[in-house]
Structures are given as structure tokens and as C-alpha cells.
Amino acid sequence: MGDLLVWLNDQLLRMQWLSDLVTWALQDVLGFDMSDRLAGALHFFIYDIIKIFILLSVLIFSISYVQSYFPPERTRRILGRRQGWATNILAALLGTITPFCSCSSIPLFIGFTSAGLPLAVTFSFLISSPLVDLASVILLASIFNWSIALTYVLVGLVLAVLGGTLIGRLKLESQVESFVFQSPVGDHDNNGQTSRRERCAYARAQVSEIVHRVWLYVVLGVGIGAAIHNWIPQAFISAALGQDRWWSVFVATVSGIPMYADIFGTLPIAEALVLKDVGVGTALAFMMSVTALSLPSMIMLKRVVKLPLLCVFIGIVASGIVAIGYLFNYAAPLLI
Amino acid sequence: MNIKILGSGCKKCIALGDNAQVAAQEIGVEFDIEKVTDVVAIAGYGIMSTPGLVVNDKVVSSGRVLTPAQIKEILLAA
């Protein structure tokens, strides 16, 4: 039983067969010497791209199918019925099965707030939504391992719950643009009237839309990852981001904030960094800060909240990411 | 009849716009189609997922690409 699970994990999730196939194609068909840098980079590039796209398509399809049961209107109704801590936890959990795109966060923010949901709950949702989703968890398990993937989910959810709660405690309602509260609240989600055929069609459309949107980031991310993997000297990376540098997590987080990429594009970069002996926490901090905080989504958020609240939001999420980074770096030996 | 498509320009919004045009033409009613792309303006209609369909300033659907037949039904009822 254990062996079967290991085999399934290696072949389906880590796609060992694909890695072997790419090695075979490069070495035996094209005549590359696998110890060569170019061959190493090509292997990383081809294997990662194919793997990510296969996993991405399968995962987005399944997640979108589940997601079709939780349109934002329903999420709002579920959250609106409850109060207290449990609502924050629920919001963070629901954030994991709702859209990955930061572009949907504004309509959600307005829709939640105008319906009277507290800021604490809305922000728990907004933090968890880009940060943790089922697809990224499976990809993390594929690239690293299950204990890292599950720990990532756990700390991501904790960050969302604590961050949201803290923002709620600060009583910053006055820092929300007033038109937000006056927006109409509509329920147009055809609740319960969706057929299985429609759900499948929706899931397929999501796959093509998301693959369309992220493919360039994935190719770029894998390209950068392959370059880091094979050409950037270890000494250079260790000097900036090495395990023994206390500032490494901090640098990784701050440099990730203005960047905008999907989690699928950042994963291969994190993978290459870890292969170069960068701490897992440092790599994850970079990944989280790229996905949870990005310039385009900040500019969007600025239209609905005032600057102080925006700064509080960035500050809380960034410090949370830094803390998680250090935690992972210290705990990593236990997880790998 | 005024028809608005709410959406920031994604593929689904374009599809919904095309379907609405087909439906309105088949009914043979006079109409104009307007595209609302600004996220804040879209949220002003009280919807949280795009694309949204607005007929005579009333939101009739959100988050779905309706078929021309479905839109025809809505337009006839409006």
C-alpha cells in the first residue's frame, strides 16, 4: 500500500516518467551530454513546462468544477450568516476555492463590503484567495513534497485569518471609499439551477481562459528557473539569499512585492532557488509576496480603499510573509 | 432596448456580447449594445462575477455566458 502511494506520487504527481523521457530524448536521441549545462537547462525547461501545463489543466478543471458550486454570491450568503472567529476561518477556506485572479478581487471587495460583511472577513478572504488555492498546493507537492505543501496551506490560512482579524480590530471602516457602501447588492447567481453539463462547460472554459492568461508567465518563470539552475553561480545566490544570511527572507519578500505573476509562474523560480541551496522559507516568501501582493492589484485596491488602509494591508501581509519565511527556514529540516 | 455587457474585456464577455447581438437581431427589436469595462462601474451594478448582462438598466445575469436562445427569452420578457 505504501509502495503504491509512493509510486503514484512519483509517477502522477512528480511525473518521473516525463523526466526520464526528456533525459532519454536529450541524451539518446539528440546526443547531449547530460552533465553539460545547456542540457541541464533544457531538461529543466522542457520537463517543467510540460509538467506544469499538464497539472495545471487537470487541476483547474477539477477546481473549477467544485468552484461552480460556490459562486461569490453564495460565498457571501454563507459568510453573512455567521459571526466571530469562525467566519474568518471560513472566509480563508472559501478563499482557497475561488478564482485565482487578482482582477476579481475588486468586485468581490465591493460586493462583500456593500452587503455588510465586516472588513475582517473580507480581508481574510482577499488574503487567502490568491495565496492558497488547491492547484498551487498540488504543484507544491509535485515540486517539493507533501509536508511542505500542507504546511504552506496551513500557514497561508493562518496568515489570512490573523491578517483579516487584525485589520478588523483596527476599525478602519472609515478608510474605505464611501461609494463602496452604497453599491447595490444583487443576487444573480442562478443558485441551484446549474446543470452538470453547464458546470463541465464552465470548468473547460476556465481551463482555456486561465491557461491563456498564465502561459507566458509560466514560460518566463520556467525560463528564469532554468537559467538560475544552470548559469547563475551558486556563490552569487548564496551571497544574496543563502541560508546563513539573516536578511534573505526579507530581501526575497520585498523584491517580490512589486512583481506580478501567477503562482504557477513563480513556482519554477522557487524550485530553482531551492536547488541552489536557498532556504525553503526564503523561496516560499518570495513566492507568496509575488502572488499575494503585486503592483497591479494594489493599484486596483487603491480605487476602493484609502491609502492608510492599503498600507496597513500591505504591512500586515508582508510581515506575515516574512515571519512565515523564517519559520519555514528553521522548520525545513523537519519537513524535507 | 439598451443592452449592456459588463466585463473587463475577457473572452467570455466578447462571447456574451456576440450572443446578445444575435438574440436581439433575431427578435428584430431596435437595440444598442454598450460595453462597460471599468471594474468599479461594473461593481456599481451589484455583480461580483463577470460577464454580466444588463437589459434596460436591470441586471439579468452574471458570471455566465448565456446562449442566444436564453438571451432571447430574457429580451422577450423585458
Q: Among A20-29, A59-68, A192-201, B57-66, which stretch is predicted with the lowest mean pLDDT?
A: A192-201
Q: Which of B8, B46, B62 sits opposite A184 (nearest CB)?
A: B46
Query: B62 — contact with chain A (CB < 8 Å)?
Result: yes
Give chain A positions within 8 Å (CB) of B11. Answer: 208-209, 212
Sign of CA dihedral A140, A204, A91, A217: positive
What pLDDT does residue A101 have? 58
Helical residues (DSSP H) of chain A, grouped into ranges: 2-8, 16-24, 37-67, 72-80, 85-96, 105-114, 119-131, 134-143, 146-169, 178-182, 196-230, 234-241, 248-256, 263-275, 280-292, 295-302, 307-335
Judged by CB atoms closer than 8 Å, whether chains meet at B39 and A300 is answered as: yes
pLDDT tens digits for range B20-65: 999 988 888 888 888 888 877 888 888 887 788 999 888 888 877 8
Inspect the interface and report whether the beta carbons of A107 and B60 lie closer than 8 Å: no
For B3, the 3-state DSSP assignment is strand
Higher-confidence residue: A299 or B22?
Answer: B22
Beta-carbon contacts below 8 Å between A and B: 71
Among A176-185, A222-231, A308-317, the range with the most confident prediction by mean pLDDT is A308-317
pLDDT band at A165 (very low <50, low <70, confident <90, very high): very high
- Length of chain A as a residue count: 336
pLDDT at position A100 is 56
Higher pLDDT, A255 or A296: A255
Tell me whether residues A71 and B63 touch, CB distance under 8 A: yes
Pairing, β B32-36 against β B58-62: unpaired
Rg, Å, chain A Cα set: 21
A216 vs A187, higher pLDDT: A216
pLDDT at residue A184 tops 80: no
Query: Is it the case that residue A161 has pLDDT exceeding 90?
Result: yes
Nearest Cα of chain A lies from the Cα of B12 at a distance, in angstroms, of 9
The contact set of A with B (CB < 8 A) is 71-73, 76, 99, 103-104, 106-108, 110-111, 114, 179, 183-186, 188-190, 198, 202, 205, 208-209, 212, 300, 303-304
Mean pLDDT of the region A72-88: 86
Which sign, positive or negative, has the C-alpha torsion A293, A299, A300, A301?
A: positive
B57 touches chain A (CB under 8 A): no
| Nearest Cβ partner for B49 among A72, A185, A212 | A72
pLDDT of residue A104: 67
ipTM confidence score: 0.75
Catalytic residues of B: 10, 13
Which residues in chain A have their CB less than 8 angstroms from residue B40's CB?
106, 110, 179, 303-304
CB–CB contact A190 B64 (8 Å): yes
Inter-chain residue contact A106 with B50, CB threshold 8 Å:
no
CA-based nearest residue in chain B for residue A208:
B11
**Closest by Cβ to A183, choosing from B46, B62, B64:** B46
pLDDT digits (tens, 9 = 90+) for A99-145: 655 556 778 888 888 888 899 999 999 888 878 877 778 888 888 88
Nearest CA in chain A to B50: A104
Q: Which amino acid is at A269?
A: I
Our CA-based measurement puts residue B47 at a distance from the nearest CA of chain A, in whole angstroms, of: 6
